[in-house]
Amino acid sequence: MTETQRLPLLGQAFPEISAQTTQGPLTLPRDSAGKWLVLFSHPADFTPVCTTEFVAFQKRMDDFRALNAMLVGLSIDQVFSHIKWLEWIREKLGVAIEFPVIADDRGQIAEQLGMLHPGKGSNTVRAVFLVDPQGILRLMLYYPQEVGRNMDEILRALKALQTSDAHACAVPAGWPDNELIGRRVIVPPAADVECARQRLTEHEGYDWWFCHRDI
């Protein structure tokens, strides 16, 4: 992987990108400041899997808004292609896409964010970046071109990050429907021996290193 393709790292400031979109010029994460940014790439316009993904994202727009999230798409297509494809989705499928779609027709943003998959031509992989209201990259998901994403998992991950931030906790697998502790969250690790000794007197758990609580 070359330096220009180096992936941004979790916990670092998301690199600034400026681009033309279907709703006008956009600079991120500046234009998403104060909101969570959900930036996702798709391989190409007028393709079946991408079409199903756009419909699925749009069907959950109210859920993303309720979580104070801004949804933005991206692919290496020109803006007129995006516009025509969105028109097709509205006319043929009855779904009006409300979120902006970046036209990365030169592929510079895709290269900067490591969205290009060797051996797959110039199409982007199915990447998802979750960026917090302070512009910090918090989560990345990458899917190959052949596999469509699960938007409910993206929403779940966004809710989990917000819950972790708000309650200073960790969240278990499958939260909020975990097989062991259900909707409860995990208490942060003990910082010293005395804290470890007290942990089970203060919280429920399987051991001092595995305690959980309600929120």
Active-site residues, by number, are 50
Strands (E), the chain: 17-21, 24-28, 36-41, 69-75, 101-103, 126-131, 137-143, 185-186, 204-207, 210-213
CB 130 within 8 A of CB 157: yes
- The two beta strands, 204-207 and 210-213, are antiparallel
CB atoms within 10 A of CB 18: 12
Binding residues for substrate: 126
Tokens linked to 136: 């910090």
Residue 147: partners with Cβ closer than 8 Å, 6 or more residues away: 49, 126
Tokens linked to 190: 């003990």
CB 140 within 8 A of CB 40: no
Binding residues: 126
Neighbouring C-alpha atoms within 13 Å toward the C-beta of 120: 16
Dihedral (CA of 28, 116, 157, 86) sign: positive
